[in-house]
Amino acid sequence: MSRILIVEDEPDVLLLLENRVRGAGYEVLSATDGERGLELARTEEPSLVILDWMMPKLDGIQVCEQLREHDPHRAIKVLMLTARSQQKDVERAYEAGADDYIVKPFSSRELVERITALLAA
């Protein structure tokens, strides 16, 4: 069973994500700020991180960049899930090392399909 870390500061969105990802058969860890998310990613070594952009302490871009700086964590897949929808934001996320990008509001079915595809790659 793959372990997925969800880093999201909005409680309702976090609960929805936890339920949907767990319901798809994945083990779920979660954090409500970027600093805690980065700590969990480093210590728990999830297969994939679902990462919001706009969060307290460290934003999603900073978390992604820091994960990509350290060899042991470069293999962790990063899926940005954010309300930021401008093309420059998408490009910035990919430059930071994101593997995929989904704009909120999102389809739960699409989210699970993208997770499955990333983990299979």
SS3 at position 36: helix
Residue 101: the pLDDT is 98
Of residues 121 and 100, more confidence is placed in: 100
Does the pTM of the predicted model rise above 0.85?
yes
CATH (domain of 69)? 3.40.50.2300
- Residue range(s) defining the domain that contains residue 22: 3-120
Q: Which of 19, 52, 21 is nearest to 118 (CA)?
A: 21
C-beta pairs of 16-22 under 8 Å, 24+ apart in sequence: 16/108, 17/50, 17/81, 17/111, 20/108, 20/111, 20/112, 21/50, 21/111, 21/112, 21/115
Residue 74: the pLDDT is 82
Residue 105: asked if its preceding bond is cis (omega within 30°), the reply is yes
For residue range 45-77, list pLDDT tens digits in order: 999 999 999 999 999 999 999 999 977 778 899
Angstrom distance (rounded) from CA 113 to CA 8: 19
Angstrom distance (rounded) from CA 7 to CA 60: 8
For residue range 77-118, list pLDDT tens digits in order: 999 999 999 999 999 999 999 999 999 999 999 999 999 999
Domain count, the chain: 1
